[in-house]
Structure 1
């Protein structure tokens, strides 16, 4: 693990070094904004280094199993709203419990932008959970490739900053950080769903981790360090938590800003306590304590009771369409609010891939489940450097 802190992503880092030295960063940004679909030819007017990178990284691991990837999609069609709740309330907070990545956000002036990070995370996940996300008709491969270049650009920027102490913190967004983030968005999400009382079968959990492992390797994680099974992933996650869990001024501020962002979406002040209570329900208690998440006793107790009721309703779902409708409507409303605001009161449009939107709508028609929230242009948008 110590060695992984000294290693970035050599292939992507070389591309950014070339672009910075040639002064073509702005030009590449402009071109890549229109490069959003797996089926699109790589733009011919990109610099050779960028074209070579996009060609080399448009390849699935040779062991990737289409049936496991399809299993993750089926799980997300059934429980995507609940996944999004834990991503919003748990995964982001867990990321802030590591001081070094929190310092990266401080240097890049993103401490006070939880809305943007939430929207980007949700968009990444829904692109990943589309039917056949790596194949024809999907939009996930360009999303991965551009995210990988964004990470390299941030590494370049942060390493040049006098605020970054590489001797102490290693390379920013290093291999260990990338591995930790993959485990947070997979292992922590499954565990958080179960803490909420959401029923997740062992096979669903394994498939959900599996697609994250495929995506993580395509994001530049060295294949040999990505755990092969969910059980191994949990062991690695526990090791990383032991190595890096700790309070930092940046992590505490990031968490405070996230809590404030959610509380601002709830009218009035009477229900503000539900936000920290929800966070405490879905994250490890040591993480919540380290980041000074408030502990409103009444709301924490009510949230725990709600989770027990959720378990009962989940058991009723297969036989009770009314229970399913109530449970999923609550999840839909919370997710819709979580992606509604991007900045200064503007609405965030979450672009749901067409196949995933169809799956949610079909499920809604047959079981009483709601359709997807804030659906925008089918196909999904992706980040640009």
Structure 2
């Protein structure tokens, strides 16, 4: 694969030509709203493409529906079994550790601001959890799964944000590359796979080597189906960890938007968790992302920090993959159940969150110019 940290790396200069062409035409013809309305009804992998969609969108949906020939269905099936056992822990790590890690990307946080998500953490949580549930279903890429339409819609969202930023002149391509470029997709894939697994392990929640590889493999498949070039993404979890270790120092850092997003996320959890667990939420986030990233995002320390750290050390000494420290497990289970039971719907009026292609962006403030070695990553999911 290509070195994503190279100054001459082409990943920064390339978006998603296929999706970009579709969105460009929809914007030119003013058909985004109509396309969204019809796409709301597209939910199953085997569902036929609606006749009243613009031809360019029909062609896109047809072209992106097949699963890549190299995908191993058995590995995807095994991930479902892993998720049945440890789903609440994956959801916890993703909705806390993964989210905060993604907000630590200054330009990525600004991108979320432009798509009106800065003050609505429940929406992004709902989108991310819904996407995760589609991924971890029994046969997510089979005829009755719902993952492929979700991927197709998210890919169009990325393309729309990219096109709107470029058309509005709100992005310095020469300095930062293309918005939501190939490098961004790679970073997002690694955050939601590598950092989630590592965050779970920091808390003593371990999975087998095969489960970890299969979980990463599933995200690798999804990354490619979201438009990431196959040769750009590492083949194994070990290679992915090495790649992220090289990328992270160049991509992560503090920003006003990242701090605000993290604060909104913690406030949201504060609203929907019992009072006795309030301090555990930031402690859990700090434990999963590490002290430097937590300090960047101003995740407050709490009396729970030492307790969770002791729990993780106890689990490491015990070296058991199945039995976790009762306290850490209780907190993880509670956060995970909030997401898996879709309690987020309480603030979305009981409805599933739709993946809508944006028609405009909030560009009242310019994209900030971060330090030269700080970039982006992790738009959606």
Distance 1:222 1:84, change over 3 A: same
Q: Please report how far the alpha carbon of residue 51 of structure 1 lies from its aligned counterpart in structure 2 after TM superposition.
A: 1.0
| 1:286 equivalent in alignment to 2:292 | yes
Q: 1:75 aligns with which of 79, 82, 102?
A: 82
Give the SS at the match of 1:341: helix
Q: Which residue of 1 aligns with 2:312?
A: 307
Q: d(CA) in 2 for partners of 1:302 and 1:324?
A: 11
| 1:252 equivalent in alignment to 2:222 | no
Structure 1 residues 264-304: Cα deviation after superposition (integer angstroms, max 9, x where no partner): 22344x653322211111113332222222223x2210121
Q: d(CA) in 2 for partners of 1:329 and 1:238?
A: 30
Distance 1:235 1:160, change over 3 A: same
Q: Which residue of 1 aligns with 2:50?
A: 43
Q: Please report how far the alpha carbon of residue 244 of structure 1 lies from its aligned counterpart in structure 2 after TM superposition.
A: 1.1
Distance 1:206 1:29, change over 3 A: same
Q: Which residue of 1 aligns with 2:171?
A: 164
**TM (normalized to structure 2)?**
0.84
Any conservation in 1 of the 2:80–2:136 contact (CA below 8 Å)?
yes
Q: d(CA) in 2 for partners of 1:4 and 1:342?
A: 36
Q: Please report how far the alpha carbon of residue 70 of structure 1 lies from its aligned counterpart in structure 2 after TM superposition.
A: 1.2
Distance 1:75 1:212, change over 3 A: same
Q: Please report how far the alpha carbon of residue 207 of structure 1 lies from its aligned counterpart in structure 2 after TM superposition.
A: 0.4
Q: Please report how far the alpha carbon of residue 133 of structure 1 lies from its aligned counterpart in structure 2 after TM superposition.
A: 0.8
Q: d(CA) in 1 for partners of 2:338 and 2:181?
A: 33
Q: d(CA) in 2 for partners of 1:22 and 1:261?
A: 38
Q: d(CA) in 1 for partners of 2:350 and 2:337?
A: 9
* Correspondence 1:114-129 to 2 at 5 A: 114-129=121-136
| 1:341 equivalent in alignment to 2:344 | yes
Q: Which runs of no fewer than 5 residues in structure 2 stay unpaired?
A: 358-381
Q: Please report how far the alpha carbon of residue 162 of structure 1 lies from its aligned counterpart in structure 2 after TM superposition.
A: 4.9
Q: 1:276 aligns with which of 279, 282, 285?
A: 282
Q: d(CA) in 1 for partners of 2:219 and 2:338?
A: 25
Q: d(CA) in 2 for partners of 1:259 and 1:203?
A: 33
Q: Which residue of 1 aligns with 2:142?
A: 135
Q: Which runs of no fewer than 5 residues in structure 1 stay unpaired?
A: 351-380
Q: Please report how far the alpha carbon of residue 147 of structure 1 lies from its aligned counterpart in structure 2 after TM superposition.
A: 0.8
Q: Which residue of 1 aligns with 2:247?
A: 240
Q: Please report how far the alpha carbon of residue 312 of structure 1 lies from its aligned counterpart in structure 2 after TM superposition.
A: 8.2
Q: d(CA) in 2 for partners of 1:325 and 1:295?
A: 21
Q: 1:384 aligns with which of 334, 337, 356?
A: 356
Q: Please report how far the alpha carbon of residue 224 of structure 1 lies from its aligned counterpart in structure 2 after TM superposition.
A: 0.7
Q: d(CA) in 2 for partners of 1:328 and 1:284?
A: 19
Aligned length: 348
Structure 1 residues 200-223: Cα deviation after superposition (integer angstroms, max 9, x where no partner): 111110000001111110000011
Q: Please report how far the alpha carbon of residue 199 of structure 1 lies from its aligned counterpart in structure 2 after TM superposition.
A: 1.9
Q: d(CA) in 1 for partners of 2:217 and 2:321?
A: 28
Q: Which shows bigger deviation, 226-235 or 331-340? A: 331-340
Any conservation in 2 of the 1:108–1:158 contact (CA below 8 Å)?
no
Q: Please report how far the alpha carbon of residue 59 of structure 1 lies from its aligned counterpart in structure 2 after TM superposition.
A: 1.9
Any conservation in 1 of the 2:311–2:325 contact (CA below 8 Å)?
no
* Correspondence 1:350-365 to 2 at 5 A: none
Any conservation in 1 of the 2:92–2:335 contact (CA below 8 Å)?
yes
**TM (normalized to structure 1)?**
0.83
Structure 1 residues 90-142: Cα deviation after superposition (integer angstroms, max 9, x where no partner): 00111111111111112222111111111110110110111121112111111
Q: d(CA) in 2 for partners of 1:327 and 1:84?
A: 14
Over aligned residues, Cα RMSD in angstroms? 2.5
Q: Please report how far the alpha carbon of residue 63 of structure 1 lies from its aligned counterpart in structure 2 after TM superposition.
A: 1.3
Any conservation in 2 of the 1:5–1:176 contact (CA below 8 Å)?
yes
| 1:198 equivalent in alignment to 2:205 | yes
Q: d(CA) in 2 for partners of 1:80 and 1:140?
A: 17
Give the SS at the match of 2:111: helix
Q: Please report how far the alpha carbon of residue 317 of structure 1 lies from its aligned counterpart in structure 2 after TM superposition.
A: 4.5
